[in-house]
Amino acid sequence: MLRIFRQIALWEAVSTICLFFIAMPLKYFAGIPEAVKIAGSIHGFFVIIFVVMLIMSTIEYKWPILKAIKYFLASLVPILGFWVELDLKKEIEGKRQKS
C-alpha cells in the first residue's frame, strides 16, 4: 500500500505544480480558463485519492496522528508534496531492511 501511496503523493505534487505554475498563468495571463478547469479537475482527483490513502495508511501502519497531519499539510504546499513522496520512499526502504 505504501508504494501506491508514494505514487499518488508524487502525482498529487506534480498536479499541484501544474495547476499553480502552468494552468493558473494560462488562465490569468493568456485568457485560457479551460486550463484551470482541466488541471484543477485532475489535481482534485489526486487530492481525494491522496487523502484516502493517507487515512488508510495511518490506520494500517499505526502512524502517529501528527505524521498524518504533517503529510496532509505538506501536500498543500506545491514543493513540499515531493517531500512526502521522498519520506514514503525512506519508509518503504526501512520496512524492506526490517524484513
Question: What's the confidence (pLDDT) of residue 9?
Answer: 94
d(CA 55, CA 91): 16
Which residues are CB-contacts of 24 (< 8 A; sequence separation ≥ 6)?
35, 36
Residue range of the domain that includes 72: 2-98
Predicted TM-score of the model (pTM)? 0.89
d(CA 17, CA 82): 10
Question: Which residues in the chain land under pLDDT 70?
Answer: 98-99
Question: What's the confidence (pLDDT) of residue 76?
Answer: 86
The answer to whether 32 touches 26, Cβ cutoff 8 Å, is yes
Question: What's the confidence (pLDDT) of residue 79?
Answer: 85
Question: What's the confidence (pLDDT) of residue 78?
Answer: 80
Look at the chain and report how many structural domains it folds into.
Answer: 1
Question: What's the confidence (pLDDT) of residue 17?
Answer: 93
Question: What's the confidence (pLDDT) of residue 99?
Answer: 59
